[in-house]
Amino acid sequence: VKASLLDILACPLCGRDLALRAEPSVKGEIVTGILECASCRKTFPIERGVPRLSVGRELTRTSRGFAAQWRLRRNRRFERAGVLYGQDVAALVAWLFQTCLGDADSTLPWMLDAGCGTGEKAIACARQHPDLQVVAMDITDACDVWATASAGAPNVHFVQADVMHPPFKPRSFGRVMSWGVLHHTPNTRTAFERAASLVSDGGRLVVWLYPDPREDALAAAYYRVRDRHFLGIGHKLPNLLRFWLVRLYTMALAPIFLRYFTRVIKPRYRASGYVRLDNLTFFEKYNTMTFILYDNLTPEFQFRHTRDEVKQWFEAQGFGSLQTDGLGHHWGQRVRSAAALNRGDASQAASDSELARAF
Ligand SMILES: C[S@@+](CC[C@H](N)C(=O)[O-])C[C@H]1O[C@@H](n2cnc3c(N)ncnc32)[C@H](O)[C@@H]1O
Ligand SMILES: [Zn+2]
């Protein structure tokens, strides 16, 4: 971690400043140290270069499941590097910037990937946008093992923390993305509000959330696998058993999945440019399918939301210019209030207008 990250870090418990006690940095990286809250005195370690700022224990089953999933990926049991969920990571990130994040009306360099998993998307963001400082945050330590992969991207910062207790000052980020994460917490809406609170005025927020089955037939089929075929208990299985069951299941249903690829998935994503299934061999498609199904079963919570519901969450947090691609991505820009423009005091005015809305 670099010392510059301290500008935006805050105690995940009380929100106050954190003071750093660290051993001398190695090439600008702080590898070992302690962060201490100036107010509540709680301390958080920096280990192997990553500040460990998680609090609470409510997510242990989900985080253990995802940690195992990312270990399996690292051990090449799923897709190859650069391909995740059958998507080309670099192409998806380029699409996100073109469509959702690019013209944020904010000069803040900080961007957050909340629930980054291995951090591959965050690393791609940092590589494609060297002018940004990208924070990759996950509740697991999955990004640790991938941190070495970011050696070529000096503008990535890894943090282990819970999106329900984000260790950042409010409105520190000009761009926040949270891809496939918030619906895995005990309360998607609360998680959304916590992520949204980190976005500056004029900043952009993009989330990918599981669609409501009534609005998305493909998602509905996918949920049937979790809820019916695996009886809703996939997340309770030991990680390796889940892995082998998914492999068997995928093998048995391979002809159906291949038909799905050509008939449903290809036309659906044709315009997007980031799903490049044509470039994958049969075995790569098989691995993609096992990964996607494993990912479906891993988390304890998997809530599904309608487009209108998500739109209302954005609006309630003061976001405008709302858009969705109808495939699970939703994005918007935090409205810059007139008072903020006049006073040049963005954060104060924004909290004023939030208060005004509350009463
Ligand atoms: C479906 S994966 C998506 C990962 C990544 N965004 C990507 O696109 O590859 C969900 C991720 O959310 C993380 N996660 C779940 N609950 C979280 C929480 N409360 N705070 C932070 N991360 C969380 C999991 O550890 C997991 O890595
Ligand atoms: Zn504190």
Pocket test for ligand 1, best of 58, 66, 92, 301 (most atoms within 8 A of CB): 66
Q: Supply 287's token pair.
A: 């691995």
How far away, in angstroms, is 53 Cα from ligand 2 center? 11
Q: What is the pLDDT of residues 215-231, one digit of tens each?
A: 999 999 999 999 999 99
Q: Count how many residues are written for the chain.
A: 359
How much of the chain exceeds pLDDT 90, in percent?
A: 74
The predicted pLDDT at position 338 comes to 61
Does 246 score more than 70 pLDDT?
A: yes
Which ligand has the nearest atom to the CA of 299? Answer: 1
Element (H, E) at 323: strand 319-324
Cα–Cα dist 66/279, whole Å: 27
Radius of gyration of the CA atoms of the chain, in A: 20
Mean pLDDT in the chain?
A: 90
DSSP codes joined into one string, 164-184: TS--B-TT-EEEEEEES-GGG
Identify residue 32 by its one-letter amino acid code.
T
Q: Residue 67 CA: which ligand 1 atom is closest? A: 25
Cα–Cα dist 22/35, whole Å: 8
Question: Residue 4 — pLDDT band, cuts 50, 70, 90?
Answer: very high
Q: What is the pLDDT of residues 115-166, one digit of tens each?
A: 999 999 999 999 999 999 999 999 998 877 656 555 668 899 999 999 999 9
Residues at CB less than 6 angstroms from ligand 1: 59, 62-63, 66, 84, 115-117, 121, 138-140, 142, 162-164, 179-181, 184-185, 295
The predicted pLDDT at position 357 comes to 44
Question: Residue 340 — pLDDT band, cuts 50, 70, 90?
Answer: low
Q: Summarize the confidence of residues 23-47 as an average pLDDT.
A: 90
Cα–Cα dist 2/292, whole Å: 34
Contact predicate 55/18, CB 8 Å = no
Cα–Cα dist 33/44, whole Å: 9
Q: What is the pLDDT of residues 256-305, one digit of tens each?
A: 988 888 888 888 998 888 987 777 888 999 999 999 999 999 999 999 99
Q: Supply 95's token pair.
A: 């699409």
What CA–CA distances, in Å, run from 56 to 114, 183, 248?
Answer: 17, 18, 36
